[in-house]
Amino acid sequence: NGSFSHAFNRFYANVSVPSQTSISLQVAVADAGSNGCIDANYTFIGPDPTDYLGSHFNPAGSVISGQIPLTTFQNYVNPGRCFKYKAYLNTPDSSRTPALLDMNINYSP
């Protein structure tokens, strides 16, 4: 992992969540593979990295924000070089769809 002076710290996402729909996010930070971030091994987590299957960042109104965990868990390694996120969208009615409008990630000391 080496010595890092920077890490992925926080994220901020604007979302649209019509009634009876839901949206949540998970993040992943990993070390680069032999082809950089393309073949890195990612473990997606929420705010509780030990519950990586059930832990998600959830919206407060029209925003999902949170601290990106600074830890190592399975293939999750922060500080790390590669970052991905997954959005989980759920609706019972295709005429009402949640949306991830934009995502901002802070990478700093």
Q: What pLDDT shows up at residue 1?
A: 46
- The pTM for the full model equals 0.91
Q: What pLDDT shows up at residue 4?
A: 57
Q: What pLDDT shows up at residue 9?
A: 96
Element (H, E) at 67: strand 63-67
- What span, in angstroms and rounded, lies between the C-alpha atoms of 68 and 52? 13
Q: How far are the Cα atoms of 3, 7, 13, 45, 60 from residue 85, in angstroms, in the given order?
A: 24, 15, 11, 9, 18
Ranges in the chain, pLDDT < 50? 1
